[in-house]
Amino acid sequence: MSPRWPDRPVWVVLPTYNEALNVSPMIEALLERFTRHGWDGHVLVVDDSSPDGTARLAREISARDERVVVLERERKEGIGPAYRAGFRRALDRGAGLIVEMDCDFSHHPDALAGLVAAAADADLVLGSRYVDGGGVERWGAVRRAISRGGCWYARRVLGVPVRDLTGGFKCFRREVLETIPLDDVRSAGYGFQIELTYRAMLAGYRVREIPITFTERARGESKMSRRIVLEAAVLVPSLRRRLGPVAARPAAAHGAPSEIEPEVTEARVPPGPAGPPG
């Protein structure tokens, strides 16, 4: 790791839909971490025309802090299109590291530092629930089974060693997102997360998983649906057929063949209250 890491701007992309209860405390929590760590940090809220005023609340913070940018989209299209729009905006604004993160405090703001630190020696860092030290809080047995089963299924079909392919807490070096043809990534939910990681590995980028604790939201409504799960189930074999296996692809010119680096166990944030202040 360089003496001064991160040595480039960090942009956290927050896709939102009806997150009025969470968006302000999450933005403030991220800004506080940027200041604490001395980062050139920015928050990009990508809102799909939330009827509850989420974008208005984000704009109020943006008006007094230039580190916050709000991108408002005309309609709700899913997390995949929202992230693609956010990635393009962040890249246009000079982002060096781009972080995917949920706005509902399922991903603890304190875990961001570990994710960014691991990117010093990796091209894509995955906050993983299913490596040693990772876990989930406040999930029932059915939700746990669906999540673990989906990750196992995707891992087996795609033939990759990643343990948490469906997670949405990630840190990309900008080169990864510049290489992936974002216009070709059409999936919206779990499938979007699987596809981005798989395409990064096909391109020869270094992938690392670090443990995180995912905590089910305390406020607002979950966006999970049966349609999102089914989309991912259909997408996985399609990806394998269309793009081929990782092992069959040559290493990209920019680095070593894709691999899973050893887990950074010290990056774990101990379980605890992850929701916004009451």
pLDDT in tens, 90-128: 999 999 999 999 999 999 999 999 999 999 999 999 999
Dist CA 143 CA 228 (whole Å): 13
pTM for the complete prediction?
0.86
pLDDT of amino acid 143:
82
| Tokens of residue 274, six digits | 């992850």
**HEC string for 133-151:** CCEEECCCHHHHHHHHHHH
Of residues 266 and 98, more confidently modeled: 98
Domains in the chain, ordered, with CATH? 10-267 (3.90.550.10)
Cis peptide bond prior to 237, omega within 30° of 0:
no
How many of the other CB atoms lie within 10 Å of CB of 272?
10
Asked if residues 64 and 28 have their Cβ atoms less than 8 Å apart, the reply is no
Q: What is the pLDDT of residues 65-85, one digit of tens each?
A: 999 999 999 999 889 999 999
Q: Which of 127, 213, 199 is CA-nearest to residue 160?
A: 199
DSSP-based three-state secondary structure for 178: helix
Q: Which pLDDT value is given to residue 229?
A: 66
- Which amino acid does the sequence have at 29? A
Q: Which two tokens stand for residue 106?
A: 């399922």
270, with CB counted inside 10 A (0-12, 13-18, 19+), is exposed
* C-beta of residue 98 within 8 angstroms of C-beta of residue 64: no
The predicted structure's pLDDT at residue 213? 95
d(CA 170, CA 164): 11
- Which segments of the chain does DSSP mark as H helices, in order? 23-37, 54-64, 79-92, 112-118, 141-158, 174-179, 190-202, 226-243
Record the tokens describing residue 187, joined without a space. Answer: 């999936």
